[in-house]
Homo-oligomer: A and B are copies of this chain.
């Protein structure tokens, strides 16, 4: 099945793009015997680079099952300028030249295979093309679909930097209430059904932006049942879904509170490719029979952010329009990034196998870090599991301070602070409309003074425009986002100890 026609979703600028006339010369370049004086290309003999050699980890280095010595050995690959000796898949003469907008051919083929195997898109003629990472990807999607002043459907808590792309265009967010599975489908349906009544004169939004796995900031992961409900509503109301999924490859087992003080056992010790692939939550792409999903993937979390390398998966119409836009902006991702990632993936091969081993190892490393943080909280407070949630009481008390859902993906723990039993908060009640926000800031400052830097929940509120109060929070709660990706165990323990000190003092429990 092919994608349906969706050209009515294009912004006027995106619809108006035309290829540069110089592109019309391309087809002649491959004519046998043709001498081209057409392109203003620097001669590759004048690139100063002869070759590079990289030393990299074995893909199995972080697998919990890594007991063989070979998993610990470093691998090497070399990228020559002019030949592809020893099975090189790129050369610097072409990799560092003006290159195809959609990406270097080998890498594009690899990524296409990854998409096919891991996501199994539900329609046939999807396209894959590289971008400069998901921030670049999202900015291109906004220019592709959004007009100044329009509305964008999004999670009620979302990543502020993606909002900072469209806020200056005068766009407004339509925040959708979330539960532990992400956006509530009934809320989406009601919002769209009642749009003309609630927003008289305003064009109904046609873009839904969602971070479905290990959401930023809430850490929640949307199961396929919820995705299917959302998708069906998007079909009904003709919505394009932008699936921004940087944490997809960082999925974990469910967290369980430790029964002893020594934290968790390591995750299971064997790697099986089929089991590994089956463990992933299914994506919007996997149910997208119409081609209305634009999926954003990135190598930032799996390889390094500095690669500035990611990719779109979308229908051919959107892909062609994005290529036109890319020609006049970024042109194509860095040839260094593309060449090095290509050779790394090739060295790790065959096929996807090496990369999948690497991802499995990476998951276990971030899962360990998630556990460090959850365990540290369990140690410094009294914690109880209650369904999906962990409820956190003051040490040795029944005073409810915090609650959170231990994330099954990503890098973030989203901590709800329960203010109801805080004396100072209760004394101030009625004084201010925005007391929760003010109190969140006050607590945040005390935590910073104790030398723990976290980010305040209000940073993540969906932007509804200047005149609209940004207060979708439940009464008597505040939020903090704690990232567990970058810290050592010792520092997590120390940070949570300091945090516990601040909270116990603020609730007069110490």
Residues of A within 8 A of B (CB): 13-22, 25, 28-29, 31, 33-44, 46-57, 59, 62, 74, 92, 95-99, 132-133, 135-136, 139, 148, 160-162, 164-165, 167-170, 216, 300-301, 303-309, 324, 327-340, 344, 358, 362, 365-366, 369, 410-412, 448, 451-455, 459, 481-487, 491-492, 494-495, 498
Residue contact B132 to A132, C-beta cutoff 8 Å: yes
What's the least CB distance linking A61 to chain B, in Å?
Answer: 8
Q: Is the interface of A mostly helix, strand, loop or mixed?
A: mixed
Residue contact A306 to B327, C-beta cutoff 8 Å: no
Residue contact B358 to A334, C-beta cutoff 8 Å: no
Which 7 A-B pairs give the minimum distances between C-beta atoms? Answer: A306-B335, A334-B334, A96-B306, A96-B304, A336-B336, A16-B168, A165-B328
Residue contact B25 to A455, C-beta cutoff 8 Å: yes
Residues A487 and B308 in contact in the complex (CB < 8 Å), given A164-B328, A365-B46, A448-B28: no
Residue contact B20 to A300, C-beta cutoff 8 Å: no
What's the least CB distance linking A85 to chain B, in Å?
Answer: 14
Residue contact B57 to A54, C-beta cutoff 8 Å: no
Residue contact B53 to A57, C-beta cutoff 8 Å: no
Nearest residue (CB) in B for A496 is B37
Nearest residue (CB) in B for A80 is B55
A40 to B486, CA, bound (A): 7
Known interface pairs A29-B453, A49-B304; 19 further A-B residue pairs with C-beta atoms within 8 A, sorted by A's residue number: A17-B168, A18-B164, A18-B168, A25-B455, A34-B448, A34-B451, A35-B495, A37-B452, A38-B481, A42-B300, A43-B485, A49-B340, A50-B55, A133-B330, A135-B327, A164-B328, A306-B334, A308-B334, A334-B336
| A/B interface sample: 29 pairs, CB < 8 A | A16-B167, A18-B164, A18-B167, A21-B459, A28-B448, A29-B453, A35-B491, A35-B495, A37-B452, A37-B482, A37-B484, A37-B486, A39-B483, A40-B216, A42-B411, A43-B369, A48-B303, A50-B56, A51-B54, A98-B305, A132-B331, A133-B331, A136-B329, A139-B329, A165-B329, A306-B338, A307-B336, A330-B330, A334-B337
Nearest residue (CB) in B for A456 is B21
Residue contact B160 to A22, C-beta cutoff 8 Å: yes
What's the least CB distance linking A236 to chain B, in Å?
Answer: 31
Nearest residue (CB) in B for A458 is B21
Residues A304 and B35 in contact in the complex (CB < 8 Å), given A48-B344, A136-B331, A485-B43: no
Contacts of A57 in B (CB 8 A): 48-50
Residue contact B34 to A452, C-beta cutoff 8 Å: yes
Residue contact B334 to A453, C-beta cutoff 8 Å: no
Nearest residue (CB) in B for A16 is B168
Residue contact A453 to B96, C-beta cutoff 8 Å: no
Residue contact A161 to B482, C-beta cutoff 8 Å: no
Residue contact A330 to B365, C-beta cutoff 8 Å: no
Residue contact B304 to A42, C-beta cutoff 8 Å: yes
Residue contact A328 to B485, C-beta cutoff 8 Å: no
Contacts of A337 in B (CB 8 A): 334, 336-337
Residues A97 and B41 in contact in the complex (CB < 8 Å), given A33-B451, A55-B50, A486-B36: no
What's the least CB distance linking A24 to chain B, in Å?
Answer: 9
Residue contact B37 to A97, C-beta cutoff 8 Å: no
Contacts of A169 in B (CB 8 A): 13, 16
Contacts of A29 in B (CB 8 A): 453
Residue contact A42 to B97, C-beta cutoff 8 Å: no
Nearest residue (CB) in B for A36 is B453
Residues A135 and B56 in contact in the complex (CB < 8 Å), given A22-B455, A37-B482: no
Contacts of A37 in B (CB 8 A): 452-454, 482-484, 486-487, 492, 495
Contacts of A28 in B (CB 8 A): 448, 453
What's the least CB distance linking A294 to chain B, in Å?
Answer: 17
Residue contact B25 to A97, C-beta cutoff 8 Å: no
Residue contact A330 to B455, C-beta cutoff 8 Å: no
A482 to B38, CA, bound (A): 6
Contacts of A53 in B (CB 8 A): 52-54
Among the interface residues A98, A161, A453, A485, which one has the most CB atoms of the partner chain B within 10 A?
A453
What's the least CB distance linking A89 to chain B, in Å?
Answer: 15
A40 to B217, CA, bound (A): 10
Contacts of A55 in B (CB 8 A): 49-52
Nearest residue (CB) in B for A54 is B52
Residues A38 and B331 in contact in the complex (CB < 8 Å), given A306-B336, A336-B336: no
Residue contact B305 to A35, C-beta cutoff 8 Å: no
What's the least CB distance linking A499 to chain B, in Å?
Answer: 9
Residue contact B164 to A459, C-beta cutoff 8 Å: no
Cross-chain contact of A306 among B17, B95, B454, B485 (Cβ < 8 A): B95
